[in-house]
Structure 1
Amino acid sequence: MLFFTRHHFKKLQQAIIDGDLTLLKKQFGKLDHASLQQERFSFQDMTLNAQELAIQAGQPKVLEHLLSAGLALESSTASPLLYQALRQQEQSLALLTVLLQAGAPFEYPEAETDYALLACFKYCSEDKLMLHLSRLNEYGADLNRADAEENTALILALKSNQQALVQMLINSGAALPENLAEGICSDELRQYAKRCSEDLRIRQMMLG
């Protein structure tokens, strides 16, 4: 019996890595839920549960199937699933979306960066940052959440001199502090942010 169980898990691992949903569903029917949740797979010098394996393999459709089949939004390491998804070079937005649709939380008190929105600045490349922040905002993340050093997403965008991101965040509801600390960004970007904030205020006033 153990031999056949290991055989099914080996096939399941390959199905997850290859994104083979047909084989995945077939193997699912041969394994019990508790075993599926507890099983660990070796992949690229890592030991992962099935959900993490789907993330590391860049397979959002597989991840969606695993979660819809009842596997938990739990990681086997100190890194939350959401942060593991953000680290992926490919398919990170699709993986993030699947996790958010499944109800993944935004807050991780035990993590070095305790809020997913702010973690984007740590894990996402600059060209993908806006898309990931927009997706988190779409699912209800707090744009004005600050870290221990009182950095909000907008402050981090100002510090990194990302004008387009500053505009997007302000237009999405990020509050611009009345008294920005000196040297946080260029005077030009500071004035631009103030204009964006004022333009938004006027539009909202006109709309009543």
Structure 2
Amino acid sequence: MLTSLFDSRHERLLKAIENNDLDKVVKHMSKLEPELLLTPGKDGRHPLEAALTAEESRILELLLHKAPRPLPSARCGTPLVCLALQHPDSLPRLTMLLQAGENPDLEHQGQPLLHLCVEYCDPGRLMLHLSRLLQQGADINRRNAEGMTLLQRLLPKGDQPLLQFLLQSGAECEAHWLEEMENRELATQLNRVLDDLRIRQLMMGG
């Protein structure tokens, strides 16, 4: 009788990923067809999704080197790069997926990745995640399903360093957004940032 898929090296790979056993992952992968990295196991998760939630991030890196493209979504239909944002140690996983070719402007349920960072990243991690996506070519002025840009969405939070970072990264700012801000001191500071950027552009002949 032929050994079933669920008793195969494929299933043993999934078990090794679950156990964060890097050595066994390497052993099973060496004899596994790349297409099986995209094949669901008993619980409906394929090895890439299992690796994404594993504690050992090196496992995901190994699988991404071998996995065929395009990368599949998770069993729930969520793109892996969106799922990565929900992991406690999200930045290295996000970075690996972007380097593996995931689209930095990908949208899920009407929200671009930059906007999803706002939903899933605490304030202490948010700027790092936004910076990584922008480095990979994400459009900072891409609007979400509600028609809002990232800057427009974050203005009410009043986080001056974050807002200044967005402006200096190329975020467009309509004059009435600042005029309508309740925090007039912050609005004045942001206007100064915009003035400095305009002067810099003029000096560079832009």
Into which bin does the TM-score normalised by the smaller protein fall? Answer: 0.7 to 0.9
Q: How far, CA to CA, are the matches of 2:42 and 2:158 in structure 1?
A: 41
Match of 1:130 in 2: 127
- 8 Å CA contact 1:13–1:41 kept in 2: the answer is no
1:68 aligns with 2:69: no
- 2:102 matches 1:104: yes
The range that moved more, 114-123 or 3-12, is 3-12
Q: Distance in 1 between matches of 2:42 and 2:68?
A: 15
Partner letter of residue 93 of structure 2?
L
- TM-score, structure 1 normalization: 0.85
| SS of residue matched to 1:48 | coil
2:166 aligned partner, one-letter code: L
Per the alignment, residue 77 of structure 1 pairs with 76
CA displacement at 1:39 relative to structure 2: 2.7
Q: Is the 8 A contact 1:60 1:98 kept in 2?
A: no
Structure 2 CA distance for partners of 1:185 and 1:136, relative to 1, 3 Å: farther
Equivalent positions of 1:1-208 (< 5 A) are 1-2=2-3, 6=7, 8-40=9-41, 42=43, 47-72=44-69, 73-75=71-73, 76-89=75-88, 91-109=89-107, 111-180=108-177, 183-184=180-181, 186-208=183-205
Q: Determine what percentage of the aligned residue pairs are the same residue.
A: 36
In structure 2, do the counterparts of structure 1 residues 36 and 99 end up closer, same or farther at CA, with 3 Å as the change threshold? closer
Work out the CA distance in 2 between the residues paired with 1:9 and 1:185. Answer: 57
Check the 8 A contact 2:111/2:145 in 1, yes or no: no
The answer to whether the 8 Å contact 2:141/2:171 transfers is yes
User: Which ranges of structure 1 fall in alignment gaps of 5 or more residues?
Assistant: none
Q: Conserved in 2, the CA contact under 8 Å of 1:86 and 1:92?
A: yes
Length, aligned pairs only:
202
Deviations 1:21-54 (A, max 9, x none): 3321210133333333213254xxxx42211111
Question: Which secondary structure state, in structure 1, belongs to the residue aligned with residue 175 of structure 2?
Answer: coil
**Structure 2 contact 13–25 (Cα < 8 Å) conserved:** yes
Cα offset for 1:192?
1.9
